[in-house]
Amino acid sequence: MRLPVQEMMKVLSKAAQEEQGKAADCLVVVLMSHGGEGTICGSDDEEIRLESIYEQFNNKNCPCLQGKPRLFFVQACRGARPQGTPQAPPSVLVKEASRAAPAPLDANARPPAGTAVPVPAERQATATSQPSPAVEASQEAMDTTPSSPLRGTREGAAPSLDRSKQKPPRVTAPGKVS
């Protein structure tokens, strides 16, 4: 939220006085604005010293946070010198774009709902109702029924339980199952 300096100090002072700090493990304050060396600006373009903000949460002004970490993240300019914009070396600069735009980088990108998507010819030829040999082989492996309740296990594959071959547990006494 954008606040003038006086309002910003009221909010911070109120937060420092709240009793909720007793139950907190730490304090985190994030300030994002323009600023100067050791200052930050409010929405009214007035500056306030960062030190006066930190003082709101010291052990004297905020005893409920005593012995607890206080983290202040300040994203603001710190001076009057212009930073400039870094320029890429000439060897990196693109001189001319001669090709069409590449496909989207997001491999999971999907066309909007209702958009017809053409199917490549090589996929159309294989889109039949006949299963592939690999699918048939895996179905055959799962259809084998050994005498144990474990069905069609392949080396390295997790067994699947065939519950139709298992007997229900027998209760011999209250709370005891065999």
pLDDT in tens, 7-39: 999 999 998 888 777 888 999 999 999 888 899
Is 64 an annotated catalytic residue?
no
Domain ranges of the chain: 5-75
pLDDT tens, residue by residue, 117-174: 666 555 555 444 555 555 555 555 555 545 444 444 455 445 555 555 556 666 666 6
Q: Is the pTM of this model over 0.75?
A: no
- 12 phi and psi angles, rounded to 5 deg: -65, -40
How confident is the model at residue 140, as a pLDDT? 57
- Is 77 an active-site residue? yes
Distance, in Å, from the CA atom of 178 to the CA atom of 172, rounded to the nearest integer, reads 7
Q: pLDDT value at position 153?
A: 47
pLDDT band, residue 47 (cuts 50/70/90): very high
Query: Which residue among the candidates 26, 41, 64, 77 is catalytic per the annotation?
Result: 77
Domain covering 5-75 assigned CATH 3.40.50.300 in the classification: no
In the numeric block, the tokens 């007035």 are attached to 46
Residue from 34, 41, 62, 64 carrying the catalytic annotation: 34
The tokens of 147 are what? 């005498």
Taking the C-alpha atoms of 32, 41, 81 and 86 in order, what is their torsion angle to the nearest 10 degrees?
Answer: 20
Per the listing, tokens 């373009």 go with: 45
